[in-house]
Amino acid sequence: MSTSTTRQSRRRRPPTSVPPTTGWCWTTRSDPLGLPLSALLDVTLPVFLVLGFGYLAVRLGLFSDAGVEGLMKFSQGFAIPCLLFRAISTLDLGQTFQWPLLLSFYSGATAGFLAGLLGARFLFGRPWQDAVAIGFCGLFSNSLLLGLPITERAYGADALDANYAIIAVHSPYCYALGITVMEVVRHSGRGVLSTVGAVFSGMLRNPLIIGIAAGFAVNLSGAALPSVLTEALDLMVRAALPAALFGLGGVLVRYRPEGDLLTVFFVCGISLVIHPAITWGLGQAMDLGQAPFRSAVVTAAMAPGVNAYLFANMYGVAKRVAATTVLVATALSVLTVSAWLAALG
C-alpha cells in the first residue's frame, strides 16, 4: 500500500473518544466540501448571528452594558469552566494530546506572532512595544468562543477532542510568549520573571484554568462523578457557548473601527490566512489524523480573541489597533472561515 493511501486511510478514522456535547441544538454538517456558499454559510452563520444579536441588542440599547458584564461573568466564570471540566475529564488524554497537533497549531501561532511583530515594526514603523502587542493579535486566536462552536457545527460534538487539547495550553503559552518578548523590548518595569509570575498567579485564580485543571485531576485519578452532579454540570454546559457568544457581541460594541486600517488588515491577513495555512502545511507534513487536523486548522482560522485587546491594554500600547483588529477580523471571518471549511472537507 502506498504512503498516500495509508495517510488517507488514517484521516478517515473516527475520533476515539466523545467529549460531552456543548448542548447546542443546531444540526451539524459532516462534510462541507463541495457545497455552495449558501450551504457553507449555513454552517458558520448561526454562530455569527448569535454574536450579532448580542451586538445589536447592546448597540440599540435593548441590553445594558451592565447586563453584558453579568452575562460574560456567568459564561466565563461558571458555565464555560463547567464545559471545559466535563470535556477534559472524559478525554482520552493519550489519544488527544498529540505532539503533531500542538506543534502544527502553535508553530503557526508563533509564526503569526513574529509576522505581526516584525511587520508592525519594519513595514509600519511602530515602536517595539506597539509591535509586540500587534504581534499578539496574530498569536491569540479565539479558540474558545468561536473555534468550539464552529467546529461543532461543521463536524459534530464528537470532533472536539483536539479543540480541548489546544484550549488547555492556549492562554499559558500565548501569555508566556507575549509577556517575555514585551519585557525584553521594554527593558524596564518589574522584569520578565516577576511579570510572568504575576500573570500566572492570576491565571491560577482564573475560573477557566481552574475548570481545566479540575478536569485533568478527575481524568488522571479515574474518579467517577455522581450522576446527579454530571447532570447538573451538563445543564450549565448547555448554556455556555450561546451565552458567551451573545455576550461577546455585546462586548464588541465597545470597540470602534478607527484608524491604522492598513495595520489592522495586515494583522487580519495573518490571523485569518497565514496562521491556518501554516497549521495546514505542518499538519499535513506530520501526518496528523483527519479529526485533529480539521480542529487545528479551524481553530487557527479564528479571529483574534478579546484577550488580544486585554494584552494591549495591560501594557497601554497599540490599544486602538488591537480593538479594531478584534472587531474587523471577527466580521471578516464569516467568509474566511467558510472558505477554510470548504478546503478542509
Instruction: Write out pLDDT tens, residues 226-259.
Output: 999 999 999 999 999 999 899 989 988 887 776 6
Inter-residue contact 100 to 285 (CB < 8 Å): no
Residue 12 has pLDDT above 80, yes or no: no
With cut-offs at 50, 70 and 90, classify the pLDDT of residue 331. Answer: very high
Answer yes or no: CATH 1.20.1530.20 is held by domain 34-344. yes
Report the percent of the chain where pLDDT is more than 70.
84
pLDDT above 90: residue 167: yes
In the predicted model, what is the mean pLDDT of residues 103-120? 98
The amino acid occupying position 192 is V
Give CA–CA dist 257/319, Å, rounded.
12
User: Under a CB-based contact definition with an 8 Å cutoff, are residues 133 and 266 in contact?
Assistant: no
**Of 274, 248, 265, 261, which is closest to residue 332 (Cα–Cα)?**
265
**Residues 25, 93: Cα–Cα separation, whole Å:** 27
Q: Average pLDDT for residues 293-322, to the nearest whole number?
A: 92
C-alpha cell at 218: 478527575
Q: Is the pLDDT of residue 126 over 80?
A: yes
Question: Given a cut of 60, is residue 2 above it in pLDDT?
Answer: no
- Residue 3 pLDDT class (50, 70, 90 cuts): very low
DSSP element (H, E) containing 303? none
Cα–Cα dist 336/269, whole Å:
10
pLDDT mean across residues, the chain: 86
Neighbours of 242 (CB within 10 A): 21
Name the residue with higher pLDDT: 37 or 178. 178
**pLDDT at position 36, please?**
54
Provide the residue type at 245 as one letter: L
The rounded distance, in Å, linking the Cα atoms of 147 and 69 is: 22
Tell me the mean pLDDT in the region 132-151.
96
pLDDT band at 39 (very low <50, low <70, confident <90, very high): low
Provide the pLDDT confidence category of residue 182 given band limits of 50, 70 and 90: confident
Domain segments of the chain as ranges: 34-344
Q: What is the CA radius of gyration of the chain?
A: 19
The type of residue at 332 is L
Is the pLDDT at 30 greater than 50? The verdict is no
- State mean pLDDT over 276-281: 98
What distance in Å separates the CA atoms of residue 182 and residue 250, rounded to the nearest whole number? Answer: 30
pLDDT, tens only, 78-102: 999 999 999 999 888 888 899 999 9
pLDDT at 221: 95
Band the pLDDT of 8: cuts 50, 70, 90. Answer: very low
CA 128 and chain centroid, separation? 26
In terms of Cβ atoms closer than 10 Å to its own Cβ (0-12, 13-18, 19+), residue 201 is: exposed
Q: Which residues, listed in sequence order, are joined to residue 304 by a DSSP beta bridge? A: 141
Residue 72's CB is within 10 A of a number of other CB atoms, namely: 19
Q: What is the pLDDT of residue 316?
A: 87
